[in-house]
Structure 1
């Protein structure tokens, strides 16, 4: 389950935010097709800070997230009017501010209710802290997954902000290894309508069924790495997922196909509810409160709220260890983290001690070695020592690559890391903090 740190924690720095609607509108990117920010699939969406407009009905509380609409009026006056329209949304979401792709459908409640048997318990296939997922069948026979945001402790404005943020991020994603959205619904609730993954999550296949073949595990690792590389470096906007874990990797019916052995196009990185957009000029982002899943959280993130590409790299390293070992990120009995358990085997290059005993000798030793080395680098307690995802892909595919730390630059990130004393942060410090963090969760 996702964990949210308590209110006692305060971030060291906060990003500066626009204080007026006009200032927000002034910082929108150029119109579609102009400049290097133009979207790579032929259209573009303007981005800006909007969630707290829903939360506080005030332009003084804007934080940086994607703007939630495709608009033909890209003038400053037009954008100002659009921001004002969002501010006035009290009883629902104005369809004029919802992101859209030509292929997306706007579903009404009756159609979704009919598809899911009135959202019956028999159709419920998953439930998290903020959403429920139902299997559904459309009138044309198409099988879908309907993600319904739950009415929990958040008020309607918060839920609307979360919904539009996630939708705005998904609108910029076009990759075979990322979630595939069919449409959405805003009638009597907030809904994402997604392509149904017939084989469920990696978590179910890896931990709750018969032993998953190493060949499939390695294909999944490469597929997830490719997807993250796209989000970090090839997507029109840099996106940090923040919740990479086995249960958020979904597999389709052809995931066992023999063709394309070196990759896996039949998996999807799902659930962008915690995802953050990272502007190109920013080295990182500081967020509060801390959200995510214990066992996958990078130390600089759960200690100081620092989010960048290396946040996902760490979580991918934990996922890779799960694929190698067949063990969960946190042991359900001992509550020991997988990183802590695996460290002695990684330090001594003990493949047999680390590999899932259910595999026996049924694995490619070269691939296993690549995966082990890559995982060891990804879960390094210092973010500066972790590779980027393009380097991870090269390592897993056996392409020659030299991982060298970049030259130090005086950037926001370097100043922030210096202030946090993370460069003096040792592995033993990290293991102690893991235990301290676990105790906070269990209390």
Structure 2
């Protein structure tokens, strides 16, 4: 295993004043990331325009050993080295004539391509100042492998800085970082948490717009917080459906989130939901019907049967998790409670018997729209079907939530499918062997028979 080391003084990256030396070749994965980052970096576009204008080799096109701080860590060292160099140059170009030149070039450029990501690389100094040196008072969230700090940029924008702790020493967290950067970096939708940029200096950081009210889970389950009203809950359900439908249908490539749950949906000051945490997200090429994933990762109580048992992932995987999310919003109960009873197993009798009033969070009382509650429960019952074939798409889910006429015959399953549903209900119920386990758990397992549980981040 290679460890981080400094570049020698006689680095081959040193610049000659008489000739233009090409940079050393990068391995194929690094070249792919180079293409992505060059496409995303306005600094790179500006340099290309200057080179075309001058028609000669310029020192501006060469990365010196002082600008690039080499880091070598496993096979992804080239990724970080490239990101560091872009972030470092971006910080230098933020002042003086360079900034004015950049603004002029940007104004003269052609309209932005919809494929071009809008994020940029921040320097460590920028996010260090924004978070007041990662002051404890700005810490708004903490998990097993990450921390989230509130920060404010010089232009007044309030941001959330997600720090992946110990990422330099963990190859998996590096992969998660690149996966999240490559997926959410291309998403632009009011109901998807907007990525502003990243930083790879000292640790790995992602910078997002700040969602002032925290997660749906925090607002729903915090005993000290006031109970959310029915209108707010329904708005969260519809907004999240819009964001998820966008990920499946509106992006240049289909994105499967794989971890839709209340703690991964954030709320703005006016309670608009924003889907966040794309660490498990996967691209699904247009010609593919599904992907086979190993190891299986996710949250107990939210996993579709075909994913849990066979590792099969497609849009219907997210639809199943969204159905659990709907039930959680409606009932105020967690996907798995303290007795290890799943929300699905608890809710199924009420759904089958049409006892909607028994599903509604008692903290709401009778202050809810009965027709909307029946519609929400009906949509949830479709989403959590064990057969992926008989689940609706997110487009159909959104239409149903927004009031399209419900045709019962369209969603009636064959009796054989209903029998399978009986058998698979409760597959995600946990054993009661462990004495102290958190209500909501995540797991990473190669198969259902060999699962290793960890606390949810």
Paired residue for 1:321?
327
Q: What is the rounded CA distance, in whole Å, between the counterparts of 1:66 and 1:384 in structure 2?
A: 39
Paired residue for 1:311?
317
Secondary structure of the 2:260 match is coil
**Higher RCO by CA contacts (8 Å cutoff, separation 6 or greater):** 1
Closer/same/farther in 2, CA of residues 398 and 187 from structure 1, 3 Å limit: same
Structure 2 residue corresponding to 1:124, chosen from 139, 161, 172: 139
Q: What is the rounded CA distance, in whole Å, between the counterparts of 2:79 and 2:453 in structure 1?
A: 38
Q: What is the rounded CA distance, in whole Å, between the counterparts of 2:158 and 2:279 in structure 1?
A: 22
Q: What is the rounded CA distance, in whole Å, between the counterparts of 1:370 and 1:432 in structure 2?
A: 24
Paired residue for 1:214?
230
Contact 1:124 1:133 in 2 (8 A): yes
Shift of 1:157: 4.5
Paired residue for 1:94?
82
Q: What is the rounded CA distance, in whole Å, between the counterparts of 1:348 and 1:296 in structure 2?
A: 23
Contact 1:310 1:383 in 2 (8 A): yes
339-348 or 175-184, which moves further after superposition?
A: 175-184
Q: Deviations over 1:198-256 (max 9, x none)?
A: 1111111111121100001001100001111111112111000011111111111122x
Shift of 1:105: 3.3
Q: What is the rounded CA distance, in whole Å, between the counterparts of 2:251 and 2:86 in structure 1?
A: 22
Q: What is the rounded CA distance, in whole Å, between the counterparts of 1:276 and 1:436 in structure 2?
A: 27
Q: What is the rounded CA distance, in whole Å, between the counterparts of 2:382 and 2:325 in structure 1?
A: 13
Paired residue for 1:178?
192
Shift of 1:156: 5.0
Contact 2:118 2:185 in 1 (8 A): no
Contact 2:339 2:432 in 1 (8 A): no
Structure 2 residue corresponding to 1:115, chosen from 122, 130, 137: 130
Paired residue for 2:270?
254
**Structure-to-structure mapping, 1:99-248, within 5 angstroms:** 103-151=118-166, 155=169, 157-208=171-222, 209-248=225-264
Shift of 1:68: 4.2
Secondary structure of the 2:428 match is helix
Contact 1:301 1:311 in 2 (8 A): yes
Secondary structure of the 1:89 match is helix
Structure 1 residue corresponding to 2:420, chosen from 393, 413, 426: 426
Contact 1:90 1:157 in 2 (8 A): no
Closer/same/farther in 2, CA of residues 315 and 102 from structure 1, 3 Å limit: closer
Secondary structure of the 2:162 match is strand
Secondary structure of the 1:435 match is coil
Paired residue for 1:17?
none
Q: What is the rounded CA distance, in whole Å, between the counterparts of 1:353 and 1:186 in structure 2?
A: 49
Closer/same/farther in 2, CA of residues 432 and 248 from structure 1, 3 Å limit: closer
**Structure-to-structure mapping, 1:387-426, within 5 angstroms:** 387-400=392-405, 404=410, 426=420
Q: How many residues of Structure 1 are paired with residues of Structure 2 in the alignment?
A: 346
Q: Give structure 2 stretches of 5+ with no counterpart.
A: 1-25, 45-71, 88-114, 434-450
Closer/same/farther in 2, CA of residues 66 and 329 from structure 1, 3 Å limit: farther
Shift of 1:400: 2.7
Q: What is the rounded CA distance, in whole Å, between the counterparts of 1:290 and 1:438 in structure 2?
A: 22
Paired residue for 1:416?
none
RMSD: 3.4
Closer/same/farther in 2, CA of residues 91 and 354 from structure 1, 3 Å limit: closer
Shift of 1:349: 0.6
Paired residue for 2:364?
359
Q: What is the rounded CA distance, in whole Å, between the counterparts of 1:102 and 1:442 in structure 2?
A: 35
Q: What is the rounded CA distance, in whole Å, between the counterparts of 1:123 and 1:330 in structure 2?
A: 30
Contact 2:302 2:320 in 1 (8 A): yes
Paired residue for 1:344?
349
Q: Deviations over 1:340-391 (max 9, x none)?
A: 1000000101011111111111111111011000001101111111110000
Secondary structure of the 1:135 match is strand
Q: What is the rounded CA distance, in whole Å, between the counterparts of 1:278 and 1:425 in structure 2?
A: 31
Closer/same/farther in 2, CA of residues 233 and 387 from structure 1, 3 Å limit: same
TM-score using structure 1 length: 0.70
Structure 2 residue corresponding to 1:371, chosen from 367, 376, 381: 376
Contact 1:115 1:137 in 2 (8 A): yes
Contact 2:161 2:205 in 1 (8 A): yes
Matched, 1:69 2:37: yes
Contact 2:256 2:282 in 1 (8 A): yes
Contact 2:39 2:116 in 1 (8 A): no
Closer/same/farther in 2, CA of residues 352 and 383 from structure 1, 3 Å limit: same
Q: Give structure 1 stretches of 5+ with no counterpart.
A: 1-56, 74-84, 256-265, 406-421
